[in-house]
Chains A and B, each alone.
Chain A
Amino acid sequence: MKTFLTTTALVALGLAGPALAEIKIGASLSATGPAAFLGDPELKTLELLVEELNAKGGINGEPVELIAYDDNGDPNKARTFATRLVEDDEVVAIIGGTTTGTTMSILSVAEEAEIPFISLAGAIDIIDPVKPFTFKTPHTDRMACQKIFEDMQKRGIASIGMISGTDGFGASMQAQCKSVVGDYGITIVADETYDPKDADMTAQLTKIKGTEGVQAVLNPGFGQGPSIVTRNYKQLAIDLPFYQSHGVASDGFIQLAGTDAAEGVRLPGTALLVADLLAEDDPQKPVVAAYKAAFEAKTGTPVGTFGGYAHDAFLIMTDAIARAGSAEPAAIRDAIEATSGLAGTTGIYTFSPEDHLGLDLSAFRMLEIKDGKWTLVE
C-alpha cells in the first residue's frame, strides 16, 4: 500500500514515466502445433491468472491486459509475433517461448527492444550466458539430469542406458545428461532414441536390455512417447530402476502409461505434483494449492509442471511490476532481477545479475510413482 501511495505521488509529479493505465503484457505461446501439449496449459494458466488478478483490482490498482499469440511452435512465427508485441502492441513485458526454439527467436527481439522477457523453456543456453532482459522459470534440463544422477548415485548405480525422444526437449536433455554424467561417476552404456510419433519402442528397449552392465534406464522426453516407452518397459519385463524426466511430470502420465506400468518410475518433479504431501510450513504450499485448485476448477484437467512454469513467470512479472511501481520496461527488468525468495509452484526464486534462472537443485523433488500416486523419495 505504501508503494502504491508513493507511486501515485510520483505519477502526479510526472516523475514515474507513463501512468500505469492498462499494463500490457505480451505472450507468444505454442498453443497449437507439436508443442501444444505444453503450450495449451500455459496459455490457459495465463488467462486464468490475468482474470484473477484483474478481479482483485490489478497491479497497484491498474488492470493488466494480456495480449497472447499462438506461434504453433514455429520459431519463425514466434519471432514475428514478438516483433508485433514490441512494435505494434507496445507491450511492457513478454512471457513465452514454450519451446527452446521459439524462445531463442523471441529472445533476440526482446533484447534488441530492451523489453523484459521471461521464457518457459528448458535449455540452459537461454540464460547462460546471462542476457540483460531475459529470464526463465523452468529448471534447466541440465539440473534435471543432475537431480536424477544424484539419486542414482545414492542407489549405487554406475552404468545406465538412455532412451531419448528426438524432439527438442528429449534431444537437448540427452545432450545435457551426457555432458554432466561423468561428474557422478556414472557411464552411459546404451544410448537409443525414438521419434515422438513412434508407436512402439520395444526394439530400442530390447537393445538396452541386452547391453552388458545396464543398472538403470533414463528416458528424457515429453508427450506420448514416454508413456509408450513406460508400457513397453513393462511389456519386456525389464527389472531395473526406471527414470523419467520432468517432461512428463503430470497426473496424465500415470493415466496414459497405466498404473501398473508406471509403478516404481522415478522422476524429478516440482512441488505442484505433491501438493497434498507438502509440509504445512513449506513456503510453496499456499501458492501450489491455490494454483492447483484454480486451474483444475477452470479447465477440468490436472495441473502439470508446464502450466506451473507459466504461473511462476506471471507471478514474477506482476510482483516485479508492483515493486517497481512503474510499467517502464527498464524498471520492470531491474525489479525482476531483484526478486528474492519468491515462492512459485516450481521453486523459490531468487534472481541476481549473474543468475537469471533463480532456482537451484533443491527446487526439484525426486518423486516416485506408487499405486498410481506421486510420492516423495526419502
Chain B
Amino acid sequence: MSELLQFLLSGVTVGAVYALVALGFTIIYNASDVVNFAQGEFVMLGGMTTVFVHAAGAPLPLAVLAAIVLTAALGVAMNKLAIEPARGAPVVSLVIITIGASIFIRGAAQLIFDKQIHSFPAFSGDDPIRIMGATILPQSLWVIGGAVAVFIGLWLFFTRTLLGRAVLATSNNRLAAQLVGINTTFVMTLSFALSAGIGALAGVLVTPITLTSYDVGLGLALKGFAAAMLGGMGNPKGALVGGLALGLLEGLTAGYISSQYKDAAAFIVILAVLFFLPQGLFGRKSTDRV
C-alpha cells in the first residue's frame, strides 16, 4: 500500500514538472498555432539565470524575478525576430524555426553560463513529508502548486478576460480578429511573453528537484510536448491532465513493470491515445478547409 502510494507520489512529482512545461506550450499554440520547440529552453533559462544571478549575490526571490522577466523578454524577442517574419509558413518550416531557435538559445547559454550542473536550495527545506508510509519533498508541493496555480490562472485568462478571448479569437481566425479590432500583433507579443515567463517559472520551481544545466531544455520540451499532445494541444486542462497522466504512467511502470521501459510505456500510451482520439484527450475538433 505504501509502495503504491510512493509510486503515485513519484509520478505526481514528475507529472507536475511535465504539466508546467506543457502549460507553457498552450498559450503560444492558442495565439498562433505554433508549437514552440524552444519552450524547454525557457525552462532551462529560468533555472540557469536564477542560479547565476543568485550566485552573483542577489537574494533568491530577486534572482527568480530577474530570471522570469529576462526570459519573458527573450520570448518577445524570439517572436519578433523569428516567428512574426515567418507568418504563414508551413508547419515543417515552423518546426525547423523553433528548433533552430532552441539550438541558438542552448548555444548561447553554454557560452554565457557554463556546462556544469547546478542547483539552488529548495524553498521549504529538504525534510520529506510523510503520508501513510510514503514521502514527498516540500519542493514537489511547490511544483504541484505552481502547476495548479498556472492552470487556474490560464483558465481564468482564456475564459473570463477580454484579452484571453482575444488570444483565442486570433488563433481561430487572425483576419477576423483584426477586423473586430483586436490588436493581433500585441496578442502575439503578449502570448510569447507569458509562455516564456511560465516556462521560466517552471524552471525555477523544478530546479531544486531536477537540477539544471544548459542542455536540460530539450528533454523537458519533448516530455512537455508529448504531455500537451496527450491532453490535447492548446487546452490548459489538457496540459495539466496530460502532464500528470504521463508522470503517473512513468511512476507506475517503473514501480510495477520495468524501469527500463517506463519511457516506452509513456510513448506507447500516447500513440494509442492519438490513434483513437487524433486530437488528444481534450483537443479541439478541427475540420479541413478546402
Contacts and interface: CB of A to CB of B under 8 A. Distances in A.
Of residues B114, B137, B254, which shows the largest number of chain A Cβ atoms within 10 Å of its Cβ? Answer: B254
B213 A224 contact: yes
Contacts of A231: 126, 137
B114 to A, nearest CB: 8
A8 interface: no
A224 B117 contact: yes
Nearest to A195: B263
Of residues A32, A194, A203, A228, which shows the largest number of chain B Cβ atoms within 10 Å of its Cβ? Answer: A203
Contact of B254 (A37, A203, A235, A255): A203
Contact of B7 (A194, A199, A206, A301): A206
Interface string B145-164: 00000000000000000000
Given A235-B137, A256-B211, A36 B259 contact: no
Given A206-B3, A236-B6, A261-B126, A199 B115 contact: no
Contacts of A224: 117, 210-211, 213
A195 B250 CA distance: 11
Contacts of A227: 117, 119, 211
Contact of A301 (B6, B116, B135): B116
Interface stretch (B11-19, B91-99, B172-180, B267-275): B11-19
Contacts of B3: 206-207, 210
A171 B243 CA distance: 28
Interface in B1-35: 3, 6-7, 9-11, 13-14, 17
Contacts of A182: none
A31 B111 CA distance: 12
A7 interface: no
A296 interface: no
B41 interface: no
Contacts of A301: 114, 116
Contacts of B10: 200-203, 206
Interface string B186-225: 0000000000000000000010011101011001100000
Contacts of A260: 126
A99 to B, nearest CB: 15
Of residues B115, B213, B216, which shows the largest number of chain A Cβ atoms within 10 Å of its Cβ? Answer: B115
B126 A258 contact: yes
B75 interface: no
A117 B279 CA distance: 54
A204 B251 CA distance: 8
A185 interface: no
A172 interface: no
A252 B117 contact: yes
What are the nearest 6 A-B pairs in CB distance? A197-B219, A203-B254, A199-B210, A224-B211, A203-B10, A202-B10
28 contacts: A36-B110, A36-B215, A37-B116, A37-B117, A37-B213, A40-B114, A166-B260, A192-B254, A192-B259, A195-B262, A195-B263, A197-B216, A198-B14, A199-B17, A200-B251, A201-B10, A202-B10, A203-B10, A203-B252, A203-B254, A204-B255, A206-B7, A207-B259, A224-B117, A227-B211, A236-B6, A256-B118, A301-B116
Interface of A: 31-34, 36-37, 40, 166, 192-195, 197-204, 206-207, 210, 223-224, 227-228, 231, 234-237, 252, 255-256, 258, 260-261, 301
